[in-house]
Amino acid sequence: MRNGLNEPGEDFIRTRMVCVFQLPNFFLHKRGNRSIIDSVTYCTIMKIWFDGKLVDEKEAKTSVFDHATLYGDGCFEGIRFYSGKIFRLEEHIVRLFNSMRYLLIDCPWSFEEVCAATQETVDASGMQDGYIRLVVTRGVGDLGLNPRNCPKPSMFIIAQNISLYPKEMYENGLSLITSSYRRPNPDVLCQQVKSLNYLNSISAKIEAVQQGAGEALMLNQRGNVAECTGDNIFIVKDGVVITPPLTEGALGGITRHAVQDICVELGIPCEEKVLNRFDIICADECFLTGTAAEVIAATSLDGRTIGTGRAGTITKRILERFQQLVRE
């Protein structure tokens, strides 16, 4: 525990691809008829797509003068791949290009080139299932704020494993608290842009961690439900799946869209409706969606049990279909 927060390994688990080269004999020892490789002899190798080519992890470096570092100026996408196939790649890259357009970042790579680079990174990872982080930075400039002094953006793509929540939370559902931090109005900070400025969400996440909750519910300036720190939120009431409209301060999540498509396919009524804390607490079921989180049940809010306190029937149906969909 450090400064009231869990160490990174306790709350955020990530694993890197491990590649083992042919090892010299002195790295091996015999046990009976078997050759044993000591764990210390494993060499981690990660290929990262960086500004047009795949490089080793140690070579993928951005400048301290990049405005992404100095000011959080840039945008990103988080993308999943399953069985080597990237889930809804084009939807993600459309959203990325929309973010760049809003931020006036002139991308030197075409839509098709970014899609190809993302697939190339996945192929180089050697993994079948994993998570992609695609980041576009404003680029190198001076210490001033003016983005026009950053003539060339940078882009890097990482393929890794990620687990936002412990396994038991996926099995039993996670607890929510209501954050004191509000989603800003769109004239302050547009939530449809996946910018590198995540301080609002990080502040709310700190509250959740300090209170022992799995996630924080974020309200907008009117006190209505927007979303969670990095997930869209859904409830089920009287057999109807409901999620807040994007105008309430939620990101247009790709997994959110997938769940809405699943509801149509399964014949489950689904609608967008303004919600408040009362609606969450009095719901029959509640679940969160996100690329990293996928689909996970939420079973309490501020110490109040939601529904039965476990993942509901409709949540389970949606999750089962989602797990099939991502591998089709």
Minimal CA–CA distance to 122: which of 155, 153, 87?
A: 87
Q: How far apart are CA 149 and CA 236, in angstroms?
A: 49
Contact 158, 121 (CB under 8 A): yes
- The shares of helix, strand and coil residues in the chain, as percent rounded to the nearest 5, are 30, 30, 40
Q: Which of 61, 194, 237, 273 is catalytic?
A: 194
Structure tokens at 305: 């049990």
What are the residues facing 18 on neighbouring strands?
44
Query: What length is written for the chain?
Result: 328
Read off the DSSP letter of residue 40: G
Minimal CA–CA distance to 116: which of 73, 32, 169, 53?
A: 53
Query: β-strands 232-237, 304-305: how paired?
Result: unpaired
State the maximum Cα–Cα separation within the chain, in Å, rounded to a whole number. Answer: 70
Annotated active-site residue 194? The verdict is yes
Strand segments (E) across 64-114: 74-82, 85-86
3-state class of 316 per DSSP? helix
Q: Which residues are catalytic?
A: 194
